[in-house]
Amino acid sequence: MAVTKLARLSKRDEFWMKVAECGGFDIEHLMEKKPPSCNIIARKFTKDLCPRNNIIVYAKLGIHKYNMTQGTNLQLSSIEKYNVRPKVAYTTYYVTAVAKDPAAGGSLITFQTSSYIQGFDVKSLTCFIARPKPEPHEDQACNRSTECGPIDRGSLPEWPADNAFDDKTRYYVVKKSELRKNDWIRLYLELAFLNANLSLPNINLSKLVIMKVAVESRENIDSPKERLNARYATFYIKYKYCPNKSRRACKVDGCRATRERIAIVRRSLDKISGLLTLSFHGHWKHTFL
């Protein structure tokens, strides 16, 4: 019996070693011989099988992190596949996507990104891999030391008083034109909304309408506008979710049937580790004023 248990352990350890050698990606060839005790799921998308909202936004987050650190402007084109490894403390996602590079005439790049999410009342989503897919001769192994938990798991601030955003020395109120240019702000809202409303059926992220955004940063920044690009910043987003109306109608009549909601998203981009962590509330009760 002891020998049988040792054999199971060795098969499990061997499987996880092979997964690590692949960096968590491209593990389809390993799944047929996956030991039952190894909890990991692999999915590949076809024309008939579309990715869920959370896979799409996790792919966008990885591309956003890459754009922030590399000064690029890659855009998500499609998603090929993903792997998910749930654990007691956190769940890790490995997403293989296709990104479009407008600076290179719209050329397509296979892109890999991995994030893990943990927490309950306050959730933290940490992106620790964001890169074009390495060539076969390049090292694809994942640095496990970066997958050790989010940087900042403290409580989120309260929503400021109505006139607090008038304090230009502390907050920068984002202009509508800047919202269009910095579409990652909408991505932050989508991530926060999804994770706070897991029980809400048939979520349509296109029905989210941003009403107001203010940003606060603890960094010493001369220009208030530069708070948008700060490594450490908190975003206060007021919005409406109008599932039964078009976004145009919601903007025109104020979507009277829905209440205004809020999302507070804290961003941390660590200079040393390169980890990008977003923290937000994990329950819908925190999304109403």
Q: What digits encode the pLDDT tens for the residues 111-163?
A: 999 999 999 999 999 999 999 999 876 666 555 444 444 345 568 999 999 89
| Total Cβ atoms within 10 A of residue 51 | 19
At residue 5 the predicted structure's pLDDT band, cuts being 50, 70 and 90, is low
Q: Which residues contact 146 (CB under 8 A, 6 or more apart)?
A: 128, 129, 273, 274, 275
For 17, the 3-state DSSP assignment is helix
At residue 258 the predicted structure's pLDDT band, cuts being 50, 70 and 90, is confident
For 226, the 3-state DSSP assignment is helix
Residue 2: the pLDDT is 52
Average pLDDT over residues 209-219: 93
* Whole-number percent of the chain with pLDDT over 90: 71
Residue 259: the pLDDT is 83
Express each pLDDT in 83-120 by its tens digit: 999 998 999 999 999 999 999 999 999 999 999 999 99
Q: What CA–CA distances, in Å, run from 204 to 2, 76, 154, 181, 256?
A: 52, 18, 30, 22, 18
Q: Where are the domains of the chain?
A: 2-146, 164-287
Express each pLDDT in 172-205 by its tens digit: 999 999 999 999 999 999 999 999 999 888 899 9
Q: Which residues contact 38 (CB under 8 A, 6 or more apart)?
A: 12, 15, 16
Q: Is the pLDDT of residue 222 over 90?
A: no
Residue 144: the pLDDT is 44
Position 11, amino acid = K
Please name the CATH architecture into which domain 2-146 falls.
Answer: Roll (3.10)
